[in-house]
Structure 1
Amino acid sequence: MRIYPLLVLLACAPVLVLGYRSGLVTDSCDDMIPLHQGTNSSSSPPPYTITTDGTQYSEGDEITVSLRAESVPFEGFLLQAREVGGRSPVGSFSVLGAESRLLECAGLSNSAVSHLSGAKKNSIESKWRAPQSGQLKDIEFSVTFVQNYPNYWVGVKSPVVVFNTSISNPLPSLHPNEPVSSVGCGGSKVCFSRPQNCDPASSSDCYFMSVHEAPTDSSLKFEIYGASEGYISIGFSDDKQMGNDDIYICGKDSNSSIQVQHAYSTGRGAPTILPLENISHIKTSFVDGVISCTFVSKNTIAIQRNGVGSVYYIMFAYGLTSNGKLLYHRRSVFISEQKIDITRPQVVTKSQQPQIIKAHGALMLIAWMTTGSLGMLIARYLKAVTKGRGCLGKDLWFLAHVFLMVLSVAATIIAFILSFSHVKGWSGGSHPVLGCLVMILAFIQPLGAFFRCGPQHQWRFVFNWLHTMTAVAIKGLSVAAIFTGLYLVDSSQEGWMQKVMGGFVAWEALLFALLDLHMRWRQKDEDGVVFESVNIELILLTVFFLGNLAFLITLLIGIGMT
């Protein structure tokens, strides 16, 4: 008869172990002690930490709770939020990642988080939401860490999260539970967006931020919205350059969870992350590649670390992250046209490209989409048909080629000087590198031509090959430079200017191919009528010029509109 209790115990043991490993530990909700028979909680310092992304909260706020292993991974855990000194769970959780599950404790749904399996874990994140109403008090997050069956730590506490009564009942218009939208822009809040006047509630292609000041205190509600696989951010600056800027970032951390961060930049490098301090009502989401954040801040905006005010240039930037670190946003930024008083509702317009940069772009387009292309085409395809026709002892094709290429080099030099005089330094990226290479080769090419040997010299073929290869290199680099330049200035969602440039490249390749085929056909038929050959090549040249001119005018209009 004594064997039956033993059999019952052996039959139940797998169930107990299964329950532990699957995280179904509701029997431990009250004291948070694992049902590990014959064991006791460890009294040594736990090799684990629990942190939060906020130090205070009010009704409806969300706080991200992070569990971290410092040296040894943990297999199981049980997490709750409790009033300081209390034993009952407060609020509700949502899981971030596939290693956690929600539990019901004390009759409250989703009031605790536990493990989903016995796999070893180094970090876990969950999002806690405060109750919308009730007698709320200061809370702390309590967690039990299980390293293995005999080793566990009970009641590891987070720093206290203070209930902020000063903003516990803000005006409904400041509450971030409403979806981000353009409602109230210019009437009750400051709005800044690209495209201009877009509505994030109806378009996922909208990059949008708004600021709404509470009439009863200095609280500011911020809304940030935009498509990004890393982060979106807003900055407040005394000028249109990076440096000495107060920044709010909404982006992915190392676990791909969306976090709100407060930062300060001192230059073009990564900004310095600051404590959140008086930030509450944080709400974040990442849906279909779009990041959205709303929060209320009572922090003072400081753009000189010790200087404050309410009039700033507004910057909106977005980019990628790598393991939680921000990567440089490059062109993904737009800036307000002028300083904005963020306490006065208005619709902000974004800054236009400086006229000197527009002139730089226009000159480069003219040089390498029109004059340079025509000069190269004439030298290659009209040499034979204009031979013997000339002026001042030179063939017409040669005079036209030299004139057009001198114009191209002159335009390139002027454009080069304009860009560097405006930037006053090295802006970084591939565009200035390509531009410098074009400038160097465009300067070397005519020097080499000036010192070329005579047509009958035995080494003339070397010059011909070098001259041709350099021309091809300049053409390829100039096209790449134009593409990267258009990428920097084209703020449209569809990138239409780069598509137009792609059409130009295809058009030019087609005409060069037709002219090359015609030249080869003419070489096989040397007894053909030269007059007819001249007519065909002049027709193709005219069509080539008109097509290039159409693409050029389209892009010049686009640059003027940026």
Structure 2
Amino acid sequence: MMHVYTLLFIIWTSPVVLGFSSGLVSTSCDTMVPRHRAQAQTVPSPYTVTVDRSSYHAGYTIMVTLQGQSTTFMGFLLQAQEVGGSQPVGTFSVTDGQAQLLSCSGTANSAVSHTSSSSKSSVKVLWHAPASGSYKDIAFRATFVQSMKVFWVQVESATVSYSFISSASCGYSKLCMSQPSNCDPVSSDSCNFISVLASSTNSTFHVEISGQASGYVAVGFSDDQYMGNDDIYICVDGGNGSVQVQHAYAAGAVAPQKLPLGNVSIIQTSITAGIIKCFFSSENTISTQPGKAAATPMYYLLFASGPASGDSIEYHSTKFSSSQKANLRSPQLLLSGSSEPPIVKAHGALMLISWMTTGSIGMLIARYLKAATKGKRCCNKDFWFLAHVTLMSLSVIATSIAFILIFSYFGGWSGGSHPVLGCIVMILALIQPMAAAFRCTPGHKWRFVFNWAHALNALVIKILAVAAIFTGLGLIDTTDSRWLQKVMGGFFAWEVLSFLLYELNVRLCAKDKTEPGSDSKSTEVIFLIIFVLGNVTFLVALLCGIGQS
């Protein structure tokens, strides 16, 4: 009788044991709970489910990794499921001998499990998104079995969001432009992307825009690579996860004028982790001149993104344009090859020259080189004074010209910190010569007030000018490395070090309580030559960068 009970027990338990070791666990698909007659663990899982993408698109593939942090696992069951749902999504393929495909909910290859009960520390499989259907955000959920009585159920990966915009058909069924070039908004959070496809039979065109921004992303249709006379569509963060689509016209380098939205159908929009996306179609006629429509839809594409205040956009923080005009009805890949307008480059060059050479050298001469030129006069004035006045006058003149150029180009005020800093620098720079014209005589008892105020104002101007240059370079440097700002950072460190060395030299001379000798004067002149060469080197590098921007 005992043999009969033993045989019955073996027959009753064998499906469980065999099913566990072989990984054929389709019966657990719905709940993902293994039939081990034990309760799932409630403590944090020592296993993780990770993915190599944060978003997906139709037909895309994601690598999924199951891994033990500090211990191995014997078995597993993995599915992709909609967030908030339990039905499997997509299909898997395996290249790892430790994994096999299963059918769940009647869908072939919709789950993966182990092939044996051997210890595993890591398993990698591939998940393939459906080629069509209704798409939602998904998560990968796995059950990990450590032993017959120790297991964790539905350990979840990070959410993988569905991206309705991708570069998959760029050049084949739509016209695309992106920065960095050929990036994909599905796989890269830093990808700024535009796609357009105009109908060959009517005026309808479809637009996709994606980019990381604090307020808005926009696409413009233009006759040139610069802002002005542009037909613009803007996707603005509307708050609470909503995105508004706006239509506008830019008459110049100023804030665009809003237009009625017109015949625009919004297909889909989203904002996730600061990435704004919108997909819409429009039957509005594209016009870069008010009331005039082009015979052929040939335009430069412009991209811009930046902050917004409510539903009003502010000055862009990122912008680029296509390197050539494109026919909106012709699918192709466009390179971004925008160039700053010459007047903007001239503005930047003048400001760099003013505050990296003439201004810096003029300030240094007045502070540290009076003794080196003692006794040397020209036109009945000390040589150091003439050099200081000449250099600082050139700085004020160049700053004024740069100020006039940029305001004449933009035709008004633009947002952001750069114009604010620039205006303050301009005002303080004009105060310097005006105050100097009414200064007291050298022997007057109140002369020290002018000396201190003059020096303090110069220091403030210098600091604000450097800050203005930093923010200005940030507007034109669209490279991933931001190398122009890094060069400017190197220049700032160079100037601080140079002034500290000069100050140290002055302190040492004062400590000796002796008149500077010929050796000291030679040292100061050598320092000046080195300082000028260093400044000019940084200046040339930045001027080259502006020329190529």
Question: TM (normalized to structure 1)?
Answer: 0.61
Unpaired segments ≥5 residues, structure 2 = 1-57, 59-80, 88-104, 107-130, 135-161
SS of structure 1 residue aligned to 2:340: coil
Distance (whole Å) between structure 2 residues aligned to residue 392 and residue 229 of structure 1:
58
Distance (whole Å) between structure 1 residues aligned to residue 548 and residue 189 of structure 2:
23
Task: Kindly provide the amino acid, as one letter, of the partner of residue 410 in structure 2.
Answer: V
1:354 alignment partner in structure 2:
341
1:376 alignment partner in structure 2:
363
Distance (whole Å) between structure 2 residues aligned to residue 94 and residue 234 of structure 1:
32
Q: Summarize deviations over 1:402-434 as a string: whole Å, max 9, x none.
A: 222222122222222322332233334333333
- 1:307 and 1:521, CA in 2 relative to 1: closer, same or farther beyond 3 A? same
2:261 alignment partner in structure 1:
274
1:452 alignment partner in structure 2:
439
Residues 208, 278 of structure 2: 8 Å contact kept: yes
Of residues 441-450 and 545-554 in structure 1, the stretch that sits farther from structure 2 once superposed is 441-450
Distance (whole Å) between structure 2 residues aligned to residue 307 and residue 223 of structure 1:
25
- 1:525 and 1:266, CA in 2 relative to 1: closer, same or farther beyond 3 A? closer
Equivalent of residue 204 in structure 1, options 189, 201, 206: 189
Equivalent of residue 433 in structure 1, options 397, 400, 420: 420
SS of structure 1 residue aligned to 2:534: helix
Equivalent of residue 413 in structure 1, options 389, 400, 405: 400
SS of structure 2 residue aligned to 1:236: strand
Residues 270, 326 of structure 1: 8 Å contact kept: no
Equivalent of residue 476 in structure 1, options 443, 463, 467: 463
Distance (whole Å) between structure 2 residues aligned to residue 557 and residue 288 of structure 1:
36
- In the alignment, does 2:446 pair up with 1:462? no
Q: Give me the CA root mean square deviation.
A: 3.8
Distance (whole Å) between structure 2 residues aligned to residue 252 and residue 421 of structure 1:
31
1:330 alignment partner in structure 2:
316
Task: Kindly provide the amino acid, as one letter, of the partner of residue 450 in structure 1.
Answer: A
Task: Kindly provide the amino acid, as one letter, of the partner of residue 210 in structure 1.
Answer: S
Distance (whole Å) between structure 2 residues aligned to residue 379 and residue 216 of structure 1:
72
- 1:367 and 1:491, CA in 2 relative to 1: closer, same or farther beyond 3 A? same
Unpaired segments ≥5 residues, structure 1 = 1-59, 61-92, 96-100, 110-130, 135-175
Distance (whole Å) between structure 2 residues aligned to residue 399 and residue 276 of structure 1:
67
Residues 230, 319 of structure 1: 8 Å contact kept: yes
- In the alignment, does 2:541 pair up with 1:557? no
1:367 alignment partner in structure 2:
354
1:299 alignment partner in structure 2:
283
2:247 alignment partner in structure 1:
263
Distance (whole Å) between structure 2 residues aligned to residue 486 and residue 341 of structure 1:
32
- In the alignment, does 2:234 pair up with 1:232? no
- In the alignment, does 2:540 pair up with 1:537? no
Displacement after TM superposition at 1:461 (Å): 1.5
2:35 alignment partner in structure 1:
none
SS of structure 1 residue aligned to 2:196: strand
Equivalent of residue 491 in structure 1, options 457, 474, 478: 478
SS of structure 2 residue aligned to 1:510: helix
Distance (whole Å) between structure 2 residues aligned to residue 431 and residue 206 of structure 1:
25
Number of residue pairs aligned between Structure 1 and Structure 2:
395
- 1:529 and 1:410, CA in 2 relative to 1: closer, same or farther beyond 3 A? closer
- 1:328 and 1:351, CA in 2 relative to 1: closer, same or farther beyond 3 A? same
Equivalent of residue 514 in structure 1, options 474, 495, 501: 501
SS of structure 2 residue aligned to 1:274: coil
Give the 5 Å matches for 1:51-450.
Answer: 180-181=166-167, 184-185=170-171, 188-200=173-185, 203-213=188-198, 220-237=205-222, 240-241=226-227, 245-247=231-233, 249=235, 252-257=237-242, 259=243, 261=245, 263-265=247-249, 268=255, 271=258, 274=261, 277-278=264-265, 280=267, 282=268, 289-294=274-279, 297=281, 299-303=283-287, 307-309=292-294, 310-320=297-307, 325=311, 327-336=313-322, 339-346=325-332, 347-450=334-437
Residues 182, 191 of structure 1: 8 Å contact kept: no
Identity level (%): 48
- 1:132 and 1:260, CA in 2 relative to 1: closer, same or farther beyond 3 A? farther
Residues 185, 210 of structure 2: 8 Å contact kept: yes
- 1:265 and 1:460, CA in 2 relative to 1: closer, same or farther beyond 3 A? same
Question: TM (normalized to structure 2)?
Answer: 0.62
- 1:224 and 1:529, CA in 2 relative to 1: closer, same or farther beyond 3 A? closer
Residues 317, 329 of structure 1: 8 Å contact kept: no
Displacement after TM superposition at 1:261 (Å): 2.9
